[in-house]
Structure 1
């Protein structure tokens, strides 16, 4: 499955440091938790010293009271260690949950600000996995691996100091595997990072398939494609399984090496130490303390592979998160004036209404050298006028309407509203002036009223009722809770015509000055369409409107018609004028979808 390409990746450490702004607010509690864990871990290294004192002291002197005193000391150390580790977990639980929540909130907020072109490129499952699975991995890393990388590092250093201070010869025997271990860990990190990235990307692909299958369940069932969808899911699952097994093999390999080399060194130290005790060069208590300290370091050393693996997964998850966060959002500031004309006192004189001047547009991901989707479009929709936009499939109608509210920005030329270049207008102001209804109506898992109010947040109940009346959405009265009825995900509990009427109501509820309608009545039957058109005329009389139309009945709403052909405005006139003078227009109005050349020959 295609996904956006990723640039060369920085080191894991540099990547993870980008989380610092989110960790900073909880740094005191996190630091306290880390210090607590270090103290608890280092308490474990006191056990061998107590054992040495017991063996060389009370046991050698046959002093039962001293043995009991040592036993109580060991019990106290064990209780203290357990309490400290419990306190550490309490310290980090709530703060790190808030870090995850802040990361997720920022991601969601950023996704809303990213341009439509970004969402065109990114599969929704990839974005969903970044906001769920990846952030869970980051939270777990901050709660456990990061803390214990520090804790175990300090513990190993302190333990080695204790070992060398007890007997430097035996200490050097245990240190012998250090260099090969470092080399193996370095190679492991690089290999595991690549496999971890591949696995997390495949999780995103799998999430996309699941999401598409759920949203498209009617298509899958309607065409009997459940087997092919299941096969696609199995193939992706099998691929992910293979990647996860590769991860498991890498982890098993590093754990085997990390376990084997220190164990071999410990065995060698045991043999050397036993010989020295037999020769009287080393006390039994010292050997017991030395071996106990070495055994206490087993878990910190053997956990290195596991902690490095989790760290690499967290670094990969962090990279995936910031790949989205680093994407450039829509600017909240005004942009430059367009190349055609400037913004001055006389700019746009006589250009009231909606005007396209030399507009060109090419999609951001279009192949280099390909023809633009729109080329030198010049069109003027006068104030209060309704202009129908007609053209064959693929002529660029939907693209042209998407330029008005700046869902995409023009490549060249400019668009003005009442003489103002939209590129110099704040997006919030522009989108308050322009209201849209799309051919594919999107509804949200909310009530009817909430869906309509997305078109004008401050609209009154009376305005909502008026908008529903204009859209002839009288079916709402028959719903269980009227306008308070939940319409369900994607509005799939409603028919296509009902969804389209609610989308139309959403576009007119705010009584906008400029209205852009992309074939808003395509799913309606003839009688409902006629009723909606009759009510819509009242709204259009007070707005400057551009209406994409495919049927003559929709064209009748317009004062004039513009014919868009191969990305250019080929003709402008009234419906009757174009029927008389333009062969392509006649062909389209008769139900044809031929290319302009074919229409002309017809």
Structure 2
């Protein structure tokens, strides 16, 4: 109940219709309990008195009660369908919006399949729970209570016989709930793992086929499905056990009541109509009692789905506004602080083992206004991490980063990411048109002329040869394009908004020599008016920059021009001469 009560904020806007639907369902169930009373009147009256007109009247009453019960249950379904679809849609939208605000460190830890299963299967379970088990746990509870009262009023001796299995049933429910809770959570987590494997296999189909790994992938998939199958079968065994108990114990009680009632009718202590009404009421309670196990199972699955949903929703998002910089703000009026500057920046990943050395250790670096700075270092030296700190994909552990003298933590993320554009070595494109992918770099409102300018800078003229030009859908992850084409579109996306600061993570690594030379020529014109930090591995990319910074062991060990560092720094010379072996 603690888990399920967290759904109340989503249910509250539609509570009137849900409460009305529950009330209608209770009335429908109570109408069903009137039928045994009509049967009692029919047996003891018109049937005993051989009155055909009374029998037909009784039949009419039964028909009208049956129709009323059916219409009321239909009305309940109509009342809940639309609002609960809205609740599911609202929860899914909130989850998606929250995922966009969660820090990159969260997404580094979570498998995409686990998030996907929470946004699809778990929310479907919650909608089903709100539509059916939630209502019918209440309805069946009221029905059982009213039915028991009716039976006790008719004959308290037979009523006590019927109530005999109540305690064993409660014990079975308590034991079942504890075991089923664990099994339901385990199954839902395994569905998330399975979804991850499917997603990775689809996105990585070129690798799977290219290396002939389809059999090993199939074996891994079969192993996960076998594990999930075992969990589902365990759940089925638990459910079968409780169903058997919930059906057998009431059956025994009804049988005992039938024998005792028949003896009393024979002795003249009980009317036949009363026995018929009593047994009809007991049989009418069969479904409410039998369904308890099923409803408990659905409710438990809904509770675990709610826990899984709020595990994500409870994760702390990035603050949408500013944060107080450590040590206070900085004076933005000093010329020496203009441009992009790292002041003693230290960074350690949030999930790094305690005591492990930081990825970046007291980095000091100044990229002057309008200057292009190339960042060079061996694999694992922290280049990509350093560039990710500028748009605040990660927060610095210590120190600060300033743009034109202003601490980036004193800016809202929206403002910061308007001033800073990024292009990563592994370009990510979306299932949208070429133009829409490029416009993402300018809040989606770049004019066609700006898009064309950005495509020209990135030497992405190939888009005009596509079937619909810039309106061509590039497909999921842009896999219909070559690596170089995707990289050029990512570069166009970075420059389309004419940002004040550019952060480029080896943006030309997938280009051939001739295309790279053309892109560099166009990019030089853009860099002339922009402050840029460029991760570089090749001398041709380094030559785009005014100066070069060497990152080694998490620290900046040298800064100078390309030719100065070639002459004076052995590690830099080694990186530039052995780029294929050591630079990547």
Unaligned runs of 5+ in 1: 1-12, 597-602
Pick from 387, 393, 400 the counterpart of residue 379 of structure 2: 393
Pick from 261, 264, 273 the counterpart of residue 261 of structure 2: 273
Give the CA deviation at 1:64. 1.3
State how far apart, in whole Å, the 2-side matches of 1:55 and 1:179 are.
Answer: 34
State how far apart, in whole Å, the 2-side matches of 1:50 and 1:471 are.
Answer: 84
Corresponding residue for 1:511?
498
Does 2:87 correspond to 1:91?
no
Give the CA deviation at 1:127. 0.5
Does 2:549 correspond to 1:577?
no
Corresponding residue for 2:287?
299
Corresponding residue for 2:138?
150
1:436-475 per-residue CA deviation (whole Å, 9 max, x = no partner) reads 0000000000000000000002211111000000000010
Q: Is the CA contact (8 Å cut-off) linking 1:392 and 1:593 kept in structure 2?
A: no
Question: Secondary structure, in 3 states, of the residue corresponding to 1:377?
Answer: strand
Question: Secondary structure, in 3 states, of the residue corresponding to 2:361?
Answer: strand
Pick from 108, 123, 127 the counterpart of residue 139 of structure 1: 127
Corresponding residue for 1:373?
359
Give the CA deviation at 1:348. 5.7
State how far apart, in whole Å, the 1-side matches of 2:218 and 2:361 are.
Answer: 44
State how far apart, in whole Å, the 2-side matches of 1:147 and 1:399 are.
Answer: 51
Corresponding residue for 1:425?
411
Pick from 39, 46, 62 the counterpart of residue 27 of structure 2: 39
Pick from 1, 10, 13 the counterpart of residue 25 of structure 1: 13
Pick from 35, 46, 59 the counterpart of residue 71 of structure 1: 59
Q: Is the CA contact (8 Å cut-off) linking 1:390 and 1:548 kept in structure 2?
A: yes
- TM-score with structure 1 setting the length: 0.95
Corresponding residue for 1:525?
512
State how far apart, in whole Å, the 2-side matches of 1:530 and 1:176 are.
Answer: 88
Corresponding residue for 1:542?
529
Question: Secondary structure, in 3 states, of the residue corresponding to 2:558?
Answer: strand
State how far apart, in whole Å, the 2-side matches of 1:569 and 1:33 are.
Answer: 67
Q: Is the CA contact (8 Å cut-off) linking 2:547 and 2:561 kept in structure 1?
A: yes
Question: Secondary structure, in 3 states, of the residue corresponding to 1:466?
Answer: helix
Corresponding residue for 2:188?
200
Pick from 312, 317, 322 the counterpart of residue 324 of structure 1: 312
Paired residues for 1:237-386 under 5 Å: 237-339=225-327, 342-343=328-329, 345=331, 350-386=336-372
1:183-209 per-residue CA deviation (whole Å, 9 max, x = no partner) reads 110111111010000000000000000
Q: Is the CA contact (8 Å cut-off) linking 1:561 and 1:572 kept in structure 2?
A: yes
Give the CA deviation at 1:281. 1.1
Question: Secondary structure, in 3 states, of the residue corresponding to 2:62?
Answer: helix
Question: Secondary structure, in 3 states, of the residue corresponding to 1:44?
Answer: helix
State how far apart, in whole Å, the 2-side matches of 1:298 and 1:67 are.
Answer: 27
RMSD: 1.2
State how far apart, in whole Å, the 1-side matches of 2:236 and 2:301 are.
Answer: 13
Number of residue pairs matched? Answer: 582
State how far apart, in whole Å, the 1-side matches of 2:11 and 2:334 are.
Answer: 51
1:479-513 per-residue CA deviation (whole Å, 9 max, x = no partner) reads 11111111000000000000000000000001100
State how far apart, in whole Å, the 2-side matches of 1:128 and 1:207 are.
Answer: 8
Q: Is the CA contact (8 Å cut-off) linking 2:524 and 2:544 kept in structure 1?
A: yes
Question: Secondary structure, in 3 states, of the residue corresponding to 2:336?
Answer: coil
Give the CA deviation at 1:349. 5.6
Does 2:418 correspond to 1:436?
no
Unaligned runs of 5+ in 2: none
Question: Secondary structure, in 3 states, of the residue corresponding to 2:364?
Answer: strand
State how far apart, in whole Å, the 2-side matches of 1:132 and 1:205 are.
Answer: 14
State how far apart, in whole Å, the 1-side matches of 2:20 and 2:326 are.
Answer: 56
Does 2:467 correspond to 1:480?
yes
Give the CA deviation at 1:535. 0.3
Does 2:219 correspond to 1:231?
yes
Corresponding residue for 2:147?
159
Question: Secondary structure, in 3 states, of the residue corresponding to 1:45?
Answer: helix
Pick from 445, 458, 470 the counterpart of residue 457 of structure 2: 470
Question: Secondary structure, in 3 states, of the residue corresponding to 2:358?
Answer: coil
Question: Secondary structure, in 3 states, of the residue corresponding to 1:61?
Answer: coil
Change (3 A) 1:524 1:530: same
State how far apart, in whole Å, the 1-side matches of 2:113 and 2:232 are.
Answer: 19
Q: Is the CA contact (8 Å cut-off) linking 2:478 and 2:486 kept in structure 1?
A: yes
Question: Secondary structure, in 3 states, of the residue corresponding to 2:399?
Answer: strand
State how far apart, in whole Å, the 2-side matches of 1:482 and 1:43 are.
Answer: 66
Q: Is the CA contact (8 Å cut-off) linking 1:392 and 1:594 kept in structure 2?
A: no
Q: Is the CA contact (8 Å cut-off) linking 2:330 and 2:406 kept in structure 1?
A: no
Between 279-288 and 154-163, report the one with greater CA deviation.
279-288
State how far apart, in whole Å, the 2-side matches of 1:310 and 1:215 are.
Answer: 33
Give the CA deviation at 1:271. 1.3
Give the CA deviation at 1:295. 0.4
